[in-house]
Chains A and B, each alone.
Chain A
Amino acid sequence: MSAKGYAWRVWCRLPPTQRRLVFRLLAMGSSLKVAPGTPSQRLSFVLSLLARENILADGGHQAVRRLTTQLAQSTSARRVIEVGSIPAQPHVSIVIPIYGKLDLLGPQIALLADDEEIRNAEIILVLDSPELEGEFVSLVHDLHALYGLALRALVLNQNAGYGIANNVAASHATGSLLLLLNSDVFPESAGWLGQMTAAYRARAKVGALAPKLLYEDRALQHAGMYFEHEPGRGWSNQHFFKGFPSTFASANVSREVPAVTGACLLIDRDLFVRAGGFDPVYAIGEYEDSDLCLRLSSMGYPSWYLAEVALFHLERRSFAPHRSRQRAGATRHNSWLHNNRWKAEMERLMELHAQKESGALATPTPSPAGDLPTPVETAP
């Protein structure tokens, strides 16, 4: 029986008060050998416990916080390879984390490659599944041979999760802007990156900027993110008009939004660093993008949705299905934390959003030049 299996059996026999004690001990970094192994293994154990027991307030969160901090501190690129000549002083660094499988990398590079702006950018691939190193490295060389795109490829020393992988890759970036790109996002034609960077630079104060993202049937996957409060359920993250046709009028207005997705997120690199990057406490990966957006907006840098650029996002294709119990535990933890941490900011943003939307409705749309002015109805 594995150490984990044994620990699980012991755990099941413990009465609730002792379970809480175990968590407190874990949280204190005790030497108790309930969850031996690397931070990553211990985190997996704690997450699978969290899936079964709602003890977040009783030390569960503290344990996750401590272990993810250890995980972040002990994660680095154990190997860096560079193929082709990477542009010096690029405007943009594109960071693509890869986890679990490599089969989207070939298509993504093929579909990114024919674009001058992509060739002028610095592309950083970061492998968060070290066990795939051999295949990954040879694929990177072959893809460079086929498409001529210069690539910097990092292999992490351990599986660390989405947020940490992005943070490590960002620390290797040199561009003044950072584009965080999921491996299941790809463009339909060239020119999109330039449009995104121009839109970013055109705004005086902007935190995260993300474009329209489409499902395979061209329905909307992302047109900005908002927060919804339901009694008894707390706050949840939602995408505007998800599943609606991409031509839906309201989804085609570039505007300030409460948050944006991290699937294709453009941000000033200095700002990303100043904000502290992604918070590694969101174990495995979920909510770290909205957490970042909320942190930025509370610093005075709102999120911007760019409707003029559309890419495909084959959502949930970018990672292999994670062992479900750990993921369930991570989801429970991450949403709990996000709710507790950002309640006030989410409320503020949604009030602001409601004001803006109603304001936008009351403001008459400017009539095109040459047309007669539209009569404006005034309230009595």
Chain B
Amino acid sequence: MLYRMGEGRPRVLYFTHGHPNLIRGGAEQAALELYAGVREHGAFEPFLAARTGDLALQRPGTPFGAVDGDDPNQLVFYAHLRGDENFFQTMRNKRFYTYHLAQLLKAIQPDVVHFQHTVHFGVEAIRQVRVTLPHVPIVYTLHEYIPICHAQGQMVRTKTFELCDHASPQRCHGCFPERAPSDFLLREHTIKRQFQDVDKFVAPSRFLLERFVAWGIPREKLVEIDYGREPQEPVPPRPVRADGKRNRFGFFGQMNPFKGIRELLLAANLLRDAGRMDIHLDVSGANLDLQTEDFQHAMHELMEAAPPTVGFLGPYAPEDLSERIASVDWVIIPSIWWENSPLVIQEAFMHERPVICSNLGGMAEKVTDGLNGLHFRARDPSSLAETLTRAADTDGLWEELRQGIPKIPTATEAAETHAVLYGELRDARSGAERVATLA
């Protein structure tokens, strides 16, 4: 591999665990939007290396390949963690790091490396950056709680679906009885070891930041920066008659057990039982086919039994969102896990739709009850049904909450915040080097 000549603007290299062109996901989308924002902003030249698990994209002798499209600064790399590798978040064969990743780093010669995730390729990638580029600041954005929690980073107990507020070897073993408690200690300590090489962690929500402080990341290593989004022209409010009610609600997101779709459909049944056939629900749900068979089966039963007031519109592409959101007044986020900074909240707010959400974690932080949305008791279909009724029946509430909707940071603003952060980290590192030289 040729080494890149050092010239031009400082470079920032993003590592992400997936590319939205190949697979949909909130964190992947956020990473790509930051990349685009930084390119637009201009202070740094961004590169994006996105992981793919599609073996067909791997060629002999190299894990690297192109993203569809001709952006010279984007590539994909094949990596996959199996079994123990996934558990300990590192590859058994270290050559991926010591050879291939090292080649990539030498070829791009970034001035800042920003991990948007390490899941699926492993935390030892951080170490390789520190080895190949000893003086380059490393930034790491935390999108959920995977370093703390092996249960897909959800911090929901696997057996009871109980919310979990901290990890410990014994508790985690309870969630995964086939794993020895000592495995969890080893997992925690080896991940924390790799995290020592990170200069700054970015937390998109205060809630997530505090969780990682409680877990043991020093507070001064964390900074709260919410996702920045490509600004959207707000779609106009749904036209209603003068006496008409704001009674159409939308669900946007994955149909997995953590997103609360089951609780939402149970609430719809309660509303039907109460005779409220005037409260409408549009469900734009994705990825049901990827869920366990049990869950799919339960969902299909619920969907068949759902009242006619519920419409199932199927998955949507990002560009279809404005059309989907145009026909609802409110957006519902009924997740039964903590969440971080759900992109759907930002999308609802960009289109000036108040949000009804669980009174939990990142959701409760981003949506203020009574100011720009309403909270209901998480996991409680009757509390949700009551809240929907109140939202639909209270005159002037929708208009009032709409006034309270905050401005969402734009991709350019987020790029500016990150550029300032990168600059500070570079200064701090070169300052430390000067001190080291003088000493």
Contact = CB atoms under 8 A, between A and B. Distances in A.
B127 A146 contact: yes
A314 B190 contact: no
A107 B94 CA distance: 12
B128 to A, nearest CB: 7
A110 B194 contact: yes
Interface string A215-233: 1110000000000000000
Nearest to B185: A216
Contacts of B98: 141-142, 145-146
Interface string B153-170: 000000000000000111
Contacts of A145: 94, 98, 102, 131
A320 to B, nearest CB: 13
B170 A138 contact: no
A139 interface: yes
A188 B185 CA distance: 11
A162 to B, nearest CB: 20
Interface in B139-195: 168-170, 180-182, 184-186, 189-190, 193-194
Sorting the interface of chain B by its residue count into under 10, 10 to 19, 20 to 34 or 35 or more gives 20 to 34
A312 interface: yes
A106 B186 contact: no
A217 B124 CA distance: 25
A314 B186 contact: yes
Interface string A140-180: 01110111100000000000000000000000000000000
Given A107-B88, A111-B190, A148-B131, A142 B94 contact: yes
Contact of B189 (A186, A215, A317): A186
A114 interface: yes
Nearest to A107: B190
Interface in B91-109: 92-95, 97-98, 102
Contact of A146 (B84, B131, B170): B131
B193 A110 contact: yes
Contact of A107 (B128, B184, B189): B189
Which of B184, B186, B196 gathers the greatest number of chain A CB atoms within 10 Å?
B186
Given A103-B84, A111-B189, A146 B128 contact: yes
A143 B95 CA distance: 10
B90 interface: yes
A215 B169 CA distance: 10
Interface in B249-287: none
A148 B130 CA distance: 11
Interface string A102-133: 01101100110010000000000000000000
16 contacts: A106-B190, A107-B190, A114-B196, A138-B95, A142-B94, A145-B131, A146-B127, A146-B131, A188-B189, A216-B169, A216-B184, A217-B168, A314-B180, A314-B182, A314-B186, A317-B182
Given A146-B97, A217-B168, 16 more contacts: A104-B186, A106-B90, A106-B190, A107-B186, A111-B193, A114-B193, A142-B94, A142-B97, A145-B94, A145-B98, A145-B102, A146-B94, A146-B98, A188-B189, A216-B182, A314-B180
Interface of B: 84, 88, 90, 92-95, 97-98, 102, 124, 127-128, 131, 168-170, 180-182, 184-186, 189-190, 193-194, 196
Interface of A: 103-104, 106-107, 110-111, 114, 138-139, 141-143, 145-148, 186, 188, 215-217, 312, 314, 317
